[in-house]
Structure 1
Amino acid sequence: MEVWIEVIESYTDIRVWIAQNKFIPNEIMEALSEDSSERVRWMIASKNRLPEHLQIKMAKDHDSSVRQRIAYNKKASARLLQMRIEDEDQETYHTHNSNPTPTRRHAI
């Protein structure tokens, strides 16, 4: 874990490549979810194994492209999708409506 943290802190230009890694630990996803680059945050929002608390965090991101990306995430929770309905950005709202992920209620 220390190596991941050191790389993120020392080599800011490769954070987007780290964010693309399928096997990064949840703690690193957490750190990168706060990155100043919307491209890095967008990549984190794309992660299928993103924990729900990070999904919700990404759904509240100030950048609409990050919010749109999390709405497309096939593992988006029902709670997150409900938040997307309330999004002030119409494009993100429409993104939510096109996500084929069933809510738990429909999956049963």
Structure 2
Amino acid sequence: MNIDKNRPVYSLSVEEFIQLNKEIFSSISESKNNLTTPSGEIMNIEEAAVFLKMAKQTVYSLISKSILPYFKRGKRVFFRKEELLSWLEKGRKYTKEEIQSGNFKLP
């Protein structure tokens, strides 16, 4: 739908207003979907917890035990996405078939 950009909102019909809102929300949704993170992205504690699907307190616990790779700047804790992915992959368990056939890598 093409609506004149100089036209005041109050002059739109209900149908035009609804269509305009749909277009706006659609473009916002597309913008959010385009914010996919590069592999070298730096994440804070909240983002890392969401990424790992863990509670924030669990992430802090793993940090205090030096299990999770992280770095600090001042009092703030940060993570690299690629390091978290690598950490997750190191915890992979092999199937019996992979072990019997020898199709696995030792750490």
TM bucket, shorter chain = under 0.3
Q: Normalised by the size of structure 1, how large is the TM-score? A: 0.27
Judging by fraction of residues, say which structure has more helix. 1
Q: Which has the higher contact order (CA 8 A, sep 6+)?
A: 2
Judging by fraction of residues, say which structure has more strand. 2
